[in-house]
Amino acid sequence: MTSTRLARTLIIANPASRSGRGAVAVERVRRVFETYDAATKGFDLRITQAPGDAVRLAADSAHYDTVIALGGDGVIHEVVNGLMQLDSYARPLLGVIPVGSGNDFARTLGIKVNDPEISLSQILVGSERVFDLGHVSSDLCPEGEYFMESLSFGLDAAIALDTIDRREAGSKQEGSVLFLTSSIKLAARAREPLACEASIDGGEPQKLETLIFAVQNGPTYGGGFKICPKAMPTDGKLDVCYNVRHPRVPHLLFLLGLARFGLHTGSSSVRLSQPRKVSLNFLNEAPPCQVDGERFIGNKFDVRIEPRALRVIVPRGWSS
């Protein structure tokens, strides 16, 4: 891809990402575009002020050729959901400049994290791929949301939500370290699993005692934990990892440590599959649930793959 392929470009930026360091990244990216006229055929920079702003901005971007999301997985998630409000023929190309704590979608893309000049240079010489997205809806959120990387229920979702709370409270930890310390804290308290009925690809519901149920479009969550190491957002399938046994706390912590490197998949306590849709019914209580690191609520959930949903810029040499 040459730089002019970006054409008319909208940058949607969250300056509050990574404890405010996103604001520095915004100015660095602005300077590049202002001094390198050949990069675009004109650009606009829009700053988010509140949750939902990036959704609204992306949903109004049909007159652009490219939308660049600058920030963490949260703003990327919002941009993706805004773009999906447009008809498929009107959706701009998506580029990502990752400035966040987790940056899991950027890892899937192979984009340099927290270095805006390098990630922008990767965009300018990158190529285009068509990505699948996941979609989840629930009895309490029937319209649902799209996810570009991860959806999970149970302990792992509680861990992800705890990292959000800790970042908002001013934690200095980031990425996988933050996820790991939350994992240790919450796994040590794990007692009773959640009763759940799960239907995979329309099959007969199976009863599960769920501690962890992860549905992935890309391989990682939590800042690099390879929960579904073979997940690929171009294969037309979801990747699912869930427990089929209830391990004791020491074994559970051991499995979480192995998941950092994708080595948990050989354990008899977990099962992996690659469905196109999943239905979950939590029988006694609403589970902790996160979608791309954001809270999602409900008791009954329907999850599906949305194949070939979005055109995404990937670095040169990226392979599916």
Residue range 281-318, pLDDT digits in tens = 999 889 999 999 899 999 999 999 999 999 999 999 89
- Residue range 246-276, pLDDT digits in tens: 777 777 778 878 888 899 999 999 999 999 9
Phi-psi label, residue 99: left if phi above 0, alpha if psi -120 to 50, beta otherwise: beta
- Across the range 141-162, mean pLDDT stands at 91
- pLDDT score, position 122: 95
CA distance 235 to 23: 35
Q: Can you tell me the mean pLDDT for 150-163?
A: 85
Would you state the pLDDT for residue 190?
63
Instruction: Give the chain's mean pLDDT.
Output: 90
Q: State the average pLDDT over residues 39-44.
A: 92
Stated as kind and residue range, the H or E segment containing 95 is strand 93-98
pLDDT in tens, 115-124: 999 999 999 9
- Examine the pLDDT at 4 and tell me if it is beyond 60: no
pTM greater than 0.85: yes
Place of tokens 């329309």: 202
Q: 3-state DSSP call for residue 187? A: helix
Cα–Cα dist 72/86, whole Å:
22
State residue 159's pLDDT score.
81
Structure-token pair, residue 99: 């400035």
Residue 320 has pLDDT above 80, yes or no: no
Please give the domain boundaries of the chain with CATH numbers for all domains: 3-125 (3.40.50.10330), 135-307 (2.60.200.40)
- Rounded to 5 degrees, φ, ψ at 244 are -115, -5
Q: How many Cα atoms are found within 13 Å in the side-chain-facing hemisphere of 151?
A: 27
pLDDT digits (tens, 9 = 90+) for 197-226: 999 999 999 999 988 899 999 999 888 889
Residue % of the chain over a pLDDT of 70: 92
Residue 55 is predicted with a pLDDT of 98
Secondary structure of 22-84 in the HEC alphabet?
HHHHHHHHHHHHHHCHHHCCCEEEEECCCCCHHHHHHHCCCCCCEEEEEECHHHHHHHHHHHC
pLDDT (0 to 100) of residue 1? 38
* pLDDT value of position 2: 39
pLDDT of residue 272: 96
Task: Considering only CA atoms, give the Rg of the chain.
Answer: 19
Q: How many CB atoms lie within 10 A of CB 247?
A: 18
Confidence category of residue 3, pLDDT binned at 50, 70, 90: very low
